[in-house]
Amino acid sequence: MTEATRSDASANPVREAIQRAIDEHEVILFMKGTPEAPACGFSLRTAGALQALDAPFAAVDVLPDPRIREELTALSNWPTIPQLFVRGELIGGCDIVMEMYESGELAQALGVGAPAPSESALSAEPATGEGPLLGIESAPR
Amino acid sequence: MPTTQEIASRIEAGIPGASAEVEDLTGGGDHFRATVVADAFAGRSRIEQHRLVYAVFGEEVGGPIHALSLKTETPVRQP
């Protein structure tokens, strides 16, 4: 890490916390509300697709702090919430996730729904990385 | 508040050769769904296709346009 990125990170702790959360969770959904109590229909559908596949995922509610959404959008170059990241990469928002769910691509991307020995690796996903800036909920279902 | 026709025209103006059909999901002028067909999407991932459309509206999406739900396609040609 260069001097420049270190000072960027310390100058922007929210963005740094978001980047760390994305790096540390194999599947992470930024949404409005929580998987149990979504606060928007698009977040509801996206979390529902992951739950329907029984895919373990971490979830971050963007509503408690407006900076989370601002910094997430700046980082991902994606204007709306929800946003699903798998292995550090933006998969999409509600439309793309639902299209991929219906076509079977989502199960493939998540490594579920196939006879995959990697499933135990997914479930063993650590729920660490929680800082004071982001409430990260690891949803087992 | 933009109309469905305005949204469609802006997409078609912003992406050369695109054709867009837009519906207002709630009737409130801030939740839209657009189906966009464009040659420009060829060879691009869904993420990139959607970004092309979102780029037409800049910060309006997520702002005054609360939601712009997208379905993007490349033109289907009969062989």
**Looking at the domain assignment, is residue B13 inside a domain?**
yes
Q: Is A32 on the interface with B (CB under 8 A)?
A: no
Rounded to whole angstroms, the Cα distance separating A94 from A86 reads: 14
**Looking at the domain assignment, is residue B29 inside a domain?**
yes
Rounded to whole angstroms, the Cα distance separating A89 from A23 reads: 9
What value of ipTM does the predicted structure carry? 0.88
pLDDT tens for chain A, 141 residues: list them. Answer: 444 555 554 679 999 999 999 999 999 999 999 999 999 999 999 999 999 999 999 999 999 999 999 999 999 999 999 999 999 999 999 999 999 999 999 999 998 874 444 444 444 444 444 456 788 888 655
- At B49, which CATH number? 3.30.300.90
**Looking at the domain assignment, is residue B40 inside a domain?**
yes
For residue B53, name the pLDDT band (cuts at 50, 70, 90): very high
* Gap from B72 CA to chain A (nearest CA, Å): 10
| Domain that residue B58 falls in | 4-73
Domains along chain A with CATH numbers: 3-139 (3.40.30.10)
- Cβ distance B54 to A96 less than 8 Å, yes or no, reads no
**How many separate domains does chain B show?**
1
Q: Looking at residue B15, what DSSP letter applies? A: S
Phi, psi of B19 (to 5 degrees): -125, 130
* Gap from A79 CA to chain B (nearest CA, Å): 6
Q: What is the mean pLDDT of chain B?
A: 94
**Looking at the domain assignment, is residue B78 inside a domain?**
no
**Looking at the domain assignment, is residue B17 inside a domain?**
yes
Rounded to whole angstroms, the Cα distance separating B48 from B27 reads: 28
Kindly state the average pLDDT of the residues B7-36: 96
Taking CB atoms and an 8 Å cutoff, what residues of chain B touch A92? Answer: 46-47, 50
**Looking at the domain assignment, is residue B43 inside a domain?**
yes
Is there a contact between A46 and A29 (Cβ–Cβ < 8 Å)?
Answer: yes
